[in-house]
């Protein structure tokens, strides 16, 4: 059987996971509430190459920050691949945003 300390650790882990999930949902709700209407208004009449480049840069930076955080200790070893991925991801998302919107 599990000892008392192990059960307390499991309860603490469950509480922390629940707090992280609730905080994530709150942040997602705020993003949807504040940023989506502005984004919809920004792309409503159509997006040119200049504006799609700005949107693609923000999208690329956000994706690479998430990837860099998840890389953890391997960040320095993977930096050259992240720089190359930045260029490719930026180019593809830039042209796709300009073409679709």
Per-chain mean pLDDT for the chain: 82
Nearest to 47 by CA among 34, 56, 37, 36: 56
Tens digits of residue pLDDT in 31-70: 888 887 777 776 667 777 888 889 899 998 888 888 877 7
100 confidence band (pLDDT: 50, 70, 90): confident
- What pTM was computed for the model? 0.52
pLDDT score recorded for residue 25:
92
Share of the chain above pLDDT 70, in %: 88
Domain boundary assignment for the chain? 1-34, 46-101
Asked if residues 99 and 47 have their Cβ atoms less than 8 Å apart, the reply is no
* 98: nearest Cα among 49, 63, 64: 49
């Amino acid at each position: 059987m599990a000892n008392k300390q192990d059960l307390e650790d499991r309860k603490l882990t469950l509480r922390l996971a629940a707090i992280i999930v609730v905080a994530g949902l709150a942040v997602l709700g705020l993003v949807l509430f504040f940023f989506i209407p502005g984004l919809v208004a920004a792309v409503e009449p159509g997006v040119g190459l200049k504006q799609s480049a700005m949107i693609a840069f923000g999208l690329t930076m956000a994706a690479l920050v998430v990837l860099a955080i998840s890389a953890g200790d391997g960040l320095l070893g993977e930096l050259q691949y992240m720089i190359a991925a930045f260029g490719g991801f930026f180019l593809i998302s830039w042209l796709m945003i300009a073409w679709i919107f």
